[in-house]
Amino acid sequence: MTADPAEALDAKLVCRNVWKLFGARAGEVLASLEPNPEAERIVAAGLVPAVRDVTLSVADGEIFVIMGLSGSGKSTLVRLMSRLIEPTAGEILFNGQNLLAASDAEMTMIRRHKMGMVFQHFALLPHLSVLDNVAFPLDVQGVGRAEREARARQMIELVGLGGREGAFPRELSGGQQQRVGIARSLAVEPELWFLDEPFSALDPLIRREMQDEFIRLQSVLKKTIVFITHDFDEAIRLADRIAIMKDGAIVQEGTPEEIVLSPATDYVREFTRAVTKSKVVRVTSAMKPAEGDEPEAAVDARATVAEAAPLFLNGTERLRVTDGGGETLGHLHRADIVKLMLGG
């Protein structure tokens, strides 16, 4: 189940029939096989099918999460999107521009000024302090010292490392080093942001805080984000849409609610089997049109039913559901939440 790029008029990023096969003469071999060959045919031809015929679109301002087990192709796909790896076949469009037709110099400028990247394994510069590591991409862009250091300090504070600006990577824990990488990526104010399991090294409490901060930032900045995770709870909290990959192909794409409540295949059903439904259904699906007096208490539109339920424990009968700007979208009623929590 994939998106039709032709319908995604507001798409920031589009992939059309993207393939990545590893092995000798991969392009020639793929062309010699029938259209959309099965993985077994590709393996029999001596190639490794890392990504198979992926078509999707990521809308402007959307958080698009790619999920899958280890080896499913999700990390390879995100590297294809930024052309850190060259596709075997297909098209990749960014703001309508075909990245496969861009020169190496053009791609360098696009990555430097319009893309932010945080991968699971990244190398901080060991001889630079935290402040200089975060400011480094701005230095490359030619930003003046005062401005780049001011922006770097903002990002360091954002990821919870205020006071450690003068520390060196060797003096930080693995989780702290990963947060420096996140801050460094944010410092360039990317138009398109790629994150490959960016919170995986953080302990649960800090990870939750980073997710909360990530959600707050997105409500203000409206970045276009491609986010990879193996944690379904994390995907549910963050994603506008999710694509699940298996053996290099996307087997289902949709909102978290669509995937959990209507799995397309047995693989997706097993993948989502243990997910508590109240953690998936967002309050916008349960709310009703605003009527009567405005309740004082409010809940964010991105919250799930499980997150909103405790707000009713004090006897509250209705909540306002609000967007990122605080505008009321509708009302959430206690009786409807009780019904959902009990499986109705």
Question: Could you tell me if 245 and 68 are in contact, meaning their C-beta atoms sit under 8 angstroms apart?
Answer: yes
CA 326 from centroid of its chain's CA atoms: 24
Helix residue ranges, H only, the chain: 26-32, 39-44, 74-81, 104-114, 130-141, 145-158, 174-187, 204-221, 232-238, 256-261, 266-271, 283-286, 305-308, 334-341
| Residue 253 burial class via C-beta count within 10 angstroms: exposed 0-12, middle 13-18, buried 19 and up | buried
Q: Domains for the chain: give ranges and CATH numbers.
A: 59-89+100-120+197-275 (3.40.50.300), 279-341 (3.10.580.10)
pLDDT at res. 343:
63
Check residue 122 and give its pLDDT. 61
CA 152-85-136 angle, 5° bins: 15
* 117, two tokens: 């990247």
Residue closest to 64 by CA, chosen among 251, 242, 258, 303: 242
The string of DSSP codes covering 95-156 is: TTEEGGGS-HHHHHHHHHHHEEEE-SS----TTS-HHHHHHHHHHHHT--HHHHHHHHHHHH
In this prediction, residue 281 carries a pLDDT of 85
pTM: 0.81
Could you identify the residue written with the tokens 């243990």?
Answer: 274
Question: Counting Cβ atoms within 10 Å, is residue 303 exposed (0-12), middle (13-18) or buried (19+)?
Answer: buried
The overall longest dimension of the chain from CA atoms, in Å, is: 68
**Which portions of the chain are predicted below pLDDT 50?**
1-7
Residue of 168, 203, 76, 181 lying closest to 123 (CA atoms): 181
Written as one string, the DSSP assignment of 2-25 is ---GGG-TTEEEEEEEEEEEESTT
Closest CA to 53 of 77, 41, 36: 36
| Residues found in the chain | 344
The answer to whether 255 and 304 are in contact (CB under 8 A) is: no
Residue 249: the pLDDT is: 95
